[in-house]
Amino acid sequence: MAKKQKASRQKIVFLGGLGEIGKNLTVFEYENDIVIVDCGVGFPDGDMLGVDLVIPDVTYLEKNADKIRGIFITHGHEDHIGALPYVLKTVNVPVYATRLTLGILENKLIEHKMEKTVDMRCAAAGDVIRAGAFSVEFIRVNHSIADSVAFAIKSPAGTFVVSGDFKIDSTPIEGEMTDLTRFGELGREGVTAFLCESTNAERPGFTPTERKVGASLEQIFTGTKKRIVIATFSSNIHRVQQIIDASKKHRRKVAILGRSMVNIINTAINLGYMRIPDDILIDVEEMKKYKPEQLTLITTGSQGESMSALYRMAFGTHDKVKLGMDDLVVISAHPIPGNERTVGNIINELLMKSVEVVYDQVAEVHVSGHACQEEIKMLIALVKPKYYVPIHGEYKHQKKNAELAYYMGIPKSNVLIPEIGRILEFEPGGKSAAFTGNAPCGRILLDGSGVGDVGSVVLRDRRHLSMDGLVAVSAAVDGYEKYLVCDPEIISRGFIYVKENEQLMEEIRQKAKEVIEFCFNDGLDVNSVRGTLRDELTKLIYQRTKRRPMVLTSIMSV
């Protein structure tokens, strides 16, 4: 009899979503087959000046493009789908997701003019997709966006469960609760590893049901005669549905502001995920026909984004809506880590305009879509994994999640905290597991239409400019006779107030003139003159001001 071929190891490569919030991307590789789970964006840190978005470095996927059998998406949030239009330009493979997720993704692909080139395949909870050596099962979970799923990924090396973003809501606004039965069945069958999200691992207890927000909204609508402006995540269609239902009950018309809010609501309506009562939606232009107590505005900007509708309303730059003492603003969201200051600025600005403001620290107008400690522990108990892998969150979240696994009886040696770029390998049947190497990884920065053209050098220059400003020196010289045609011109931006420092500006001009003449007398070429001029002016400016602005020099031959 032919000898049975020995099964290979299962690799998991983490390219994002660890030690950070967002940018989720995980790679499952078995021999010549790869499946990818999620492909999201991250949001720039405070030191990433001018950067719009951050996407994972997918060099590893580009090198192994012929192995990729599909990208599987857990749900339609930006940190799970936002990088797809960029990644699919270099790695065009089938994308598997639920109906609403595909609907949201289609809007993004249309913006990038890619809707006809991407192979999008719809699946539902309970479906099992065959992808090379893998089978991927979609499992229903509750989250702050409809149609969210977890995955059970099976290969010859074992079964690997990926939670996605989830919570256990026994009274969801729409649909059924998280499929705990299926998680329990997988646990009885045997799970090699459970990759579980960590976002709320520090929070004890259970995440409240979304219906709590509905009760708070009812109190707000009942207790005011003001125009109500509610900012929330555009993807949270259950929250938006509750706002519309409350508006209908209290005989208010609803106007939608913000492009992403309009796009997602239209997608949800077209796919049957939202029910909009007749004649309740109005255009922003129609608001002047109604009294404040007859209006509800649903808007983007719950995270303080500088171009959002709420931001522009708060700072008085919105061309259609002006806020004042007849308005009540509800911020129905919790700031993503890093956004606390910008959200606080909006709240302060609104209060200074005599606007009444309600937010999650003063009322229950937001509940999380992520599992707290007891829900994570419940899933661990059901799945019964041999190995536990905390993912999705900052390191402190992953570490706390690991401690929950210890508490649930999983040996410390079997709890593996991954890092971006690390390769985790499992022996067939879970006989052993270890980190065995590294894959190319990192961050690609998006600035406007540029992808990856802003790197560490550009960011360093931007930080330099933001802290110390700029001094630019330009001089016209005779390239043949080697002499100055006229006095150098000095321009300062963000360094000093020129009108109050004319003596220093004149000293810089005279020093530039002296250096250029000295360099030409010494026989230096134009390129050498630029470098010497920059160095000498930097020394002079530091001696006079103890500052180091960026010094740019331009020598033009005429």
Class of the CATH domain delimited by 211-359: alpha beta
Least trusted range by pLDDT, from 22-36, 151-165, 263-277: 263-277
**What's the confidence (pLDDT) of residue 537?**
85
CA angle 307, 309, 310 (to 5 degrees): 105
> Same CATH topology for 10-205+368-451 and 211-359?
no
Structure tokens at 107: 């809007």
Q: Which CATH number fits domain 469-557: 3.10.20.30, 3.10.20.580, 3.30.450.40, 3.40.50.720?
A: 3.10.20.580
Compute the mean pLDDT over every residue in the chain, rounded to the nearest whole number: 88
Q: Which residue has the tokens 């020129």?
A: 498
Give me the residue spans of the domains in the chain.
10-205+368-451, 211-359, 469-557
Whether residue 303 is predicted with pLDDT greater than 50 in this model: the reply is yes
Q: Which residues contact 412 (CB under 8 A, 6 or more apart)?
A: 406
Among residues of the chain, what percentage have pLDDT more than 90? 65
DSSP 414: G
**What's the confidence (pLDDT) of residue 306?**
79
pTM, 2 dp: 0.83
Least trusted range by pLDDT, from 111-120, 373-382, 417-426: 111-120
Q: What is the CATH number of domain 10-205+368-451?
A: 3.60.15.10
Confidence of residue 466 (pLDDT cuts 50, 70, 90): low
pLDDT tens per residue across span 12-32:
999 999 999 889 999 999 999
**What's the confidence (pLDDT) of residue 7?**
75
Mean pLDDT of 27-45: 91
Q: Which residues contact 1 (CB under 8 A, 6 or more apart)?
A: none
* CA–CA distance, 336 with 231 (Å, rounded to integer): 14
pLDDT tens per residue across span 516-538:
878 877 776 667 777 888 888 88
pLDDT tens per residue across span 182-228:
999 999 999 999 999 999 999 999 999 999 999 999 999 998 999 99
Q: Which residues contact 305 (CB under 8 A, 6 or more apart)?
A: 311, 342
**What's the confidence (pLDDT) of residue 240?**
94
In angstroms, the first-to-last Cα distance of the chain is: 87
pLDDT tens per residue across span 52-89:
678 888 999 999 999 999 999 999 999 999 999 989 98
